[in-house]
Structure 1
Amino acid sequence: MIDLSALRDNPTLSGDRVCLVPLTGEHADDYYRATQDAETRRLTGSHHSVTYEEAHEYCRSRQHQFDRLDLAILELPSERFVGELSLRDVDPDNESAAYRIALSAIEFTGRGLGKEATRLVLEYAFDRLALHRVWLEVYAFNMRAIAAYRSCGFTVEGRLRDALLWEGRRHDALIMAVLEGDFRKAISS
C-alpha cells in the first residue's frame, strides 16, 4: 500500500551535485525565466508561453497540492535554481505515478544534474511512497534525456507516433517506465 502522506511531507532530497526542495513562490522568477528558454520549451513540447503571473501562481500553489510532489532542483554548492520536477498522476490502486523533469537551460544539460535529480526522486518514490512503477513521456529526439532515464532503470514501453508538432515537423514521444526492481538493479551496477 502506498503512503500518500509522503506527498505532504515537503521533502528535501540531497545528492552530491543537486538538492531537491519544495517548489514555492521563492522560485517563481527562476521558474518563469526557465519557461521562456526556447530549447527548454522544445524539449518539453511547451507551445504555450507562460506569463509572469501564471509562473508565480503555479509556484505559489504547489505547497497546497497534496496529490503530487513538485520540487525545485538546486545545483550544489551554489544552490542556484536549475530546474524543477514532479511526481504526478499518482495512482494508489496501481502503485504508480507519472514523472516529469525540466532543466532550465542548455547550460545545465550534459552535467549529470538531471540524472542525479531523477535518481533522488525515484529513491523517494520507491522507498517513502512505496510505489511500484514510475512512468514518463519523452520526445524521441531527446537522446540525452533518454540515456539518463535508461541509466536509472527506465525502459521504453511504447511510442506515441507524431505526438508533437514543432515548427512544422512531427516527432514521436516515447513512453518509458521503471519498476522498483529495475531501479534497484540500475543503481547497484
Structure 2
Amino acid sequence: MHDSVCGLGPYRADLVETYWRWEQDPALLVGYGRQQPESLEARTEGMTQQLRGDNIRFTVYELAGDAAVPVGVATLLPDPAVRTAEYVVMLAPEGRGRGLGTAATRLVLDYAFHVTNLRMVWLKVLAPNRPAVRAYEKAGFRTVGAMREAGYWLGRVCDEVVMDALAAEFAGPSVVAPLVTG
C-alpha cells in the first residue's frame, strides 16, 4: 500500500538491527516515555515473538527516491472482540519532520478500516509531543481525553493525550477502496 510519499510493507526480520537502531534514538525514548535502552540481543528475541503474534505490523517506507527506503514501523494492536485497535508508530530520526508520519498513519487507518474492518483505532501520545499530536490530527485522529500525569517528558511528569479515529468518519484518501471498486 502506498501514496506518493510513503508506503507500507511487511514487518521484516532482516531489518531487526535497523529497527533496534531507531528505537535507541534519545528522541524516541523520550517520546515513548521508555527510560531504558534495549540490547540488540533482547530486541532480536522480541522480534521472533512479534513475528508470531496477532498484531498487524508494517515497515514504513519513504518513496521519494529511486528505491523505497525503510524509515519506520507502524503497528495496530487489535482487540477483535470489539473491532478496535491501538495504534503505535515509530519513525527513524531521518524520517521525521517531512510528513511521513501523517502519510503512514493515513495508510494504516485506510488498511484498518477497509481491510481489517475495524470500527475504531486509538492511540496515546505524551502531551508535550506537539509535532506528533499535529501529525495524528492531520491523519484523522481526534483528541478524546487525557490520562493525567501518566507519562514523563524530559524528566517531568506529563499527561498522555488519548486520541481516536472512527471508520465512520474516515475521509481518506483511500488507496484500498479504488483497488476493490475500480
Q: How far 1:167 sits from its partner (Å)? A: 4.3
Distance 2:162 2:173 in 1: 21
Distance 1:187 1:154 in 2: 14
Q: Normalising to structure 2: TM-score of the pair?
A: 0.87
| Equivalences for residues 153-168 of structure 1 within 5 A | 153-168=140-155
Distance 1:149 1:142 in 2: 11
2:62 corresponds to which letter in structure 1? E
| Equivalences for residues 65-80 of structure 1 within 5 A | 65=53, 67-76=54-63, 77=65, 78-80=67-69
| Equivalences for residues 15-26 of structure 1 within 5 A | 15-26=3-14
1:183 and 2:170 are equivalent in the alignment: yes
Tell me the alpha carbon deviations over residues 65-98 of structure 1, each in whole angstroms, 9 at most, x when there is no partner: 1x2101111212432221111000x222321111
What SS class does the counterpart of residue 74 from structure 2 fall into? Answer: strand
Q: What residue number does 1:64 align with?
A: 52
Specify whether residues 148 and 187 from structure 1 end up closer, same or farther in structure 2 by C-alpha distance, changes over 3 A only. farther
Q: Number of residue pairs matched?
A: 172
Whether contact under 8 Å (2:125, 2:133) holds in the other structure is yes
1:110 corresponds to which letter in structure 2? G
Q: How far 1:25 sits from its partner (Å)? A: 1.4
Q: What residue number does 1:123 align with?
A: 110
Q: Which of these residues, 167, 170, 186, is aligned with residue 157 of structure 2?
A: 170
Aligned alpha-carbon RMSD (Å)? 1.7
Q: What residue number does 2:178 align with?
A: none
Q: Structure 1: any 5+ residue segments left out of the alignment?
A: 1-12
Distance 1:47 1:32 in 2: 15
2:164 corresponds to which letter in structure 1? A
Q: How far 1:138 sits from its partner (Å)? A: 0.5
Q: Which of these residues, 32, 38, 47, is aligned with residue 26 of structure 2?
A: 38
Specify whether residues 48 and 171 from structure 1 end up closer, same or farther in structure 2 by C-alpha distance, changes over 3 A only. same
Q: What residue number does 1:147 align with?
A: 134
**Percent identical residues:** 34
Query: Which range is displaced more, 170-179 or 79-88?
Result: 79-88
What SS class does the counterpart of residue 27 from structure 2 fall into? Answer: helix
Specify whether residues 32 and 17 from structure 1 end up closer, same or farther in structure 2 by C-alpha distance, changes over 3 A only. same
Q: How far 1:115 sits from its partner (Å)? A: 0.7
Distance 1:160 1:17 in 2: 33
